[in-house]
Structure 1
């Protein structure tokens, strides 16, 4: 290393050390709220690993991520302001210590969920691979993260796809309060052999050794090499968190590691006067940064709802489709084909979506038509959705598939804590144009783990859009709109509608997200539903018309955001409201609409709101029990008649 390089390495490490030391003191003084996890002692692994990176490259970090952010070039004034919860913070005070990120500078985020950044790194690496401009991704994680399923899923998927990513384990020998020896029986080298990826080990307290190792690894990745597991052995001087009593380790062990201070080595190779100059420059920078952060304003209360999602451009309701008859499954295929052709940033990923064309044949032929952009994945739902999150953060428009709606629980973190929150937690610095396609459909004895309608679970998570179409034309228009939307969308299809036929719309057909459709005009009762049950509601309305009951049928189409305006406008006309859905009745969409009606439409109600939904049991397997469990036309009609009598 040249003297200039050593000086810069030392400067960066000194900046991290002083930032962390000052943050510790500010925390004790009550100027930093929340949790604080510091990386004093680990400066060399951060600086050395980031040394060969440039503007093409991205980094994902951990809850102990300040050093990574500084090593990648983030401004310490903004970071101090972020820790203090100020509007001038890196994330406008929305992220805090564990969530500092700026994707515009290649910092895809520190993460409060252990190992959650690894699938996101695989997504960013997928974007780099598709762009083919030599970009690489560096994914930091701690030794404790190796026990997480997301570690396994991310490394395995990266190996299968040969992604340009370095998974860098900062092995500080403790997973929270537990020694690494108590957590694992296999070494990282053993694991690397199991995944079929390269492995490298380095002294994480020697910044030059780390940098030289990374220079070699990054050069190989830029020329087409596959993923690498890098283990950098280091040690954190502070506890797991500030305030940690540290009863789990011997003070003598800490003292021994302090004799291997990572800042001492480069300083010893530099002129003492130059070291002193750097120290003074860094100290002055830290003082100025703290002063700026202290002087900054807190976020104004009226900005609470900012950055939850990207405002949508208004889309007019298109005319009714009048083309030749086609099926819902054709609508899905044609919508995906249209968007793949229109935007090179769109790609599909999921279990058997490529060569197999999806379990229902919905993507058949697309892999051959768009090489490299329709990808089969391992059976790894967290990795699949995480890839979508990371690729979306990198500027692509991924469409990832979960084979069944029931599997949402397997990857809920990537939806709930990553996709839904990252725009908010970065203060609007990132967009998440991600579509997660999945399907459900009770009524064919699929049992308790393949029949669930879980839309209310997702609708409760701010930042997610949830779409559930009912007609072929709407499926086409809503799916295209979802792919073009700048926000994360969960697109839920009912598999029992795949064969349903309807008129084909024009190729440019787009349905506005968040807007319901009135399927049948009426004056006596408002009947609200969505997905497959809309057709049962329409049949009931036709049946009751013969008895002189005029039913207005509303198809929500989008569950979140909920079009309450259309429902309330209809309620003002009819005075009665019945909601029907296949999901379990309790705590569902019907409950939310009933609350809205009571709060905002109370004076227009002529009768209590009635809900019709599935019974409060898991989905049964036996056909006789499933029929008793599911709402049907008879129950919907009975609810409407009851409403008319109240």
Structure 2
């Protein structure tokens, strides 16, 4: 199967007869694949949801025609045509649709989530518009490497209403990224006609972002290829992104089984008169390609698709023992480092030094976020790094979805991005990029997608920051399989854990406490690394186990010191990593003390403390001599008034009071 168009200049765009025939072959492959997928879905041989692109073959093939192997695409839930046009084989794709282990993504992605980054296919996507920020990330990697690669981001007209569209296009414009934002305007957003969804045309939107705009007849593969080839040449020369509108029409409903009550049969019939395959056949006839050659291609593709279906039917399903495969990448085993003995330094110094160390030693690392470059971060943590590492410390617009989406795309393209979300509370703005992209893409691609990225953020109540700047949301993040969540409690661990997170092959959310940026402790050596997923006993004791993390560890240690004077021996465990949870260390301490108290800054209900309580009652039940108890903020928003906030937050004294009560049981 041919995967790359012959190279030629587009200054005088013309196609040889053999090139036109190859275009037809690719379009025919998509058409027959989709027709068989439709029939197999109706026969229940393909499970789940299926969204077909019959009628849109020309836009897929034409847009991918000028692409090189190093170029990338991102796709949509209607992505079969795009990935086939970029070079994915029909056999593994059909197996993937049938949920087979030998499918493109080992049966983990299915119709909406096919990807192969090795071919520059960075994923079809079940979330409307989600591929656009990811495309910006892939393009960022291309720009940083200077290889002249480009990215085509396919999306439908419905995605224009998504905030991710705005954020991605604006970021790409500001950074002059080599992205072709290719809208397949099929005139329907699910069931709604485009005129009911938008008031401004795409040409006006492009002008608003300060980027180029081109229109192409999306049913004419030659017209699309001519337009996109010219745009791609401009991007390879270093020009900024371009929005291309390819006007087309989908013959089937939004999904297979769609009753299509929103349009009548006459409209569909009229659209079929401009069948993209008929249009390209006219080009073939004008170029003198004999009908026998076209018929031979038809027969060839029929055999190919028949063979793909027969093969997929005969393949085994994923084995039960593979259920947990591909959720996370194996992480390197790291020993617990020796206690630091260097001069005193602060947590804010630890953050900067860790970032500086990884930027220095690994050229694939880059930083991005709001004001992390020229501004040096709102807390001054990255001051000077933009000057020391030109181009690799990048200011972004205030666009959290684009920031994290850029990290996802760049990670898939082989970089190690470290991006900053200024406040933990703002995680909600970009939650899809964490919940449905960073955390799931390795799994949904059957391990094909790498995801070595770090999202740095900070939190901390106690300074009257109010309800939207004080939240401790680690339980929300820890509930997402695939994410690693880290919350250090001291400067040395901050340094060692941040370096380990940047080197880790998995997506890590690294949560700092802003009230600890000035906290001081001994500085470790430059090679200091702290293993992820490992808790640490930071104070030995025999009467009560006290588990905590982040700043609350320091309050727990202070409470333990207070109680020691009363003859109560408290063992303090610092989780350090929230997910994955180090159950073994907690249970070992519980077996030693037979009592468990958990202290955390987050609200009490449905939190990490509840998970630890369940662990103790489930696996540690026979060690318990007293109720498991949590010390935490009540389930309400953080108050602004200092007097109320002080009542709301746990403290050394409330922790000590609780431990004292449990020790007496």
TM > 0.5: yes
Kept in 1, the 8 Å contact 2:136–2:172? The answer is yes
Corresponding residue number in structure 2 for 1:435? 454
Supply the distance in 1 between the matched residues of 2:185 and 2:449 (Cα, whole angstroms): 30
Alignment of 1:224 with 2:238, yes or no, is yes
Corresponding residue number in structure 2 for 1:627? 646
Supply the distance in 2 between the matched residues of 1:471 and 1:546 (Cα, whole angstroms): 24
Corresponding residue number in structure 1 for 2:636? 617
What do residues 391-421 of structure 1 show as CA deviations (whole Å, max 9, x unaligned)?
0000000000000000000000000000000
Unpaired segments ≥5 residues, structure 2: 1-14
Supply the distance in 2 between the matched residues of 1:186 and 1:250 (Cα, whole angstroms): 26
Indicate which of 506, 518, 521 corresponds to 1:487.
Answer: 506
Alignment of 1:26 with 2:40, yes or no, is yes
Indicate which of 243, 261, 269 corresponds to 1:255.
Answer: 269
Corresponding residue number in structure 1 for 2:625? 606
SS of 1:99's equivalent? coil
What do residues 339-363 of structure 1 show as CA deviations (whole Å, max 9, x unaligned)?
0000010000000000000000000
What do residues 21-40 of structure 1 show as CA deviations (whole Å, max 9, x unaligned)?
00000000010111010000
Alignment of 1:539 with 2:558, yes or no, is yes
Supply the distance in 1 between the matched residues of 2:495 and 2:332 (Cα, whole angstroms): 19
Alignment of 1:271 with 2:285, yes or no, is no
What is the CA-CA distance between 1:265 and the residue it aligns to? 2.0
Indicate which of 410, 420, 423 corresponds to 1:401.
Answer: 420
Supply the distance in 1 between the matched residues of 2:382 and 2:464 (Cα, whole angstroms): 25
Corresponding residue number in structure 1 for 2:150? 136
Alignment of 1:106 with 2:120, yes or no, is yes
What is the CA-CA distance between 1:111 and the residue it aligns to? 0.4
Corresponding residue number in structure 1 for 2:538? 519
Deviating 4+ runs (over 6 angstroms):
none
Indicate which of 549, 567, 571 corresponds to 2:568.
Answer: 549
Q: State TM-score, norm by structure 1.
A: 1.00
Corresponding residue number in structure 1 for 2:342? 323
Q: For 1:162-561, what aligned pairs fall within 5 Å after superposition? A: 162-268=176-282, 269=284, 270-561=289-580
What do residues 346-395 of structure 1 show as CA deviations (whole Å, max 9, x unaligned)?
00000000000000000000000000000000000000000000000000
What is the CA-CA distance between 1:556 and the residue it aligns to? 0.4
Q: Indicate the larger mover: 262-271 or 504-513.
A: 262-271
What do residues 172-216 of structure 1 show as CA deviations (whole Å, max 9, x unaligned)?
000000000000000000000000000000000000010111111
SS of 1:95's equivalent? coil
SS of 1:502's equivalent? strand
What do residues 100-126 of structure 1 show as CA deviations (whole Å, max 9, x unaligned)?
111111100000000000000000000
What do residues 126-176 of structure 1 show as CA deviations (whole Å, max 9, x unaligned)?
000000011000000000000000000000000000000000000000000
Corresponding residue number in structure 1 for 2:7? none
What is the CA-CA distance between 1:250 and the residue it aligns to? 2.0
What is the CA-CA distance between 1:430 and the residue it aligns to? 1.4
Corresponding residue number in structure 2 for 1:48? 62
Corresponding residue number in structure 2 for 1:637? 656
Kept in 1, the 8 Å contact 2:181–2:241? The answer is yes
Kept in 1, the 8 Å contact 2:151–2:180? The answer is yes
Kept in 1, the 8 Å contact 2:216–2:246? The answer is yes
Kept in 1, the 8 Å contact 2:70–2:119? The answer is no
Supply the distance in 2 between the matched residues of 1:89 and 1:197 (Cα, whole angstroms): 39
What do residues 468-492 of structure 1 show as CA deviations (whole Å, max 9, x unaligned)?
0011000000000000000000000
Supply the distance in 2 between the matched residues of 1:314 and 1:255 (Cα, whole angstroms): 61
What do residues 507-528 of structure 1 show as CA deviations (whole Å, max 9, x unaligned)?
0000000001111000000000
Supply the distance in 2 between the matched residues of 1:88 and 1:218 (Cα, whole angstroms): 34
Supply the distance in 2 between the matched residues of 1:278 and 1:639 (Cα, whole angstroms): 78
Supply the distance in 2 between the matched residues of 1:123 and 1:107 (Cα, whole angstroms): 13
SS of 2:112's equivalent? helix
Supply the distance in 2 between the matched residues of 1:624 and 1:584 (Cα, whole angstroms): 18
SS of 2:276's equivalent? coil
Supply the distance in 2 between the matched residues of 1:430 and 1:230 (Cα, whole angstroms): 27
Indicate which of 136, 141, 148 corresponds to 1:122.
Answer: 136
What do residues 242-271 of structure 1 show as CA deviations (whole Å, max 9, x unaligned)?
000101012111111100000012223231
Corresponding residue number in structure 2 for 1:35? 49
Supply the distance in 1 between the matched residues of 2:615 and 2:331 (Cα, whole angstroms): 23
Supply the distance in 2 between the matched residues of 1:80 and 1:430 (Cα, whole angstroms): 20
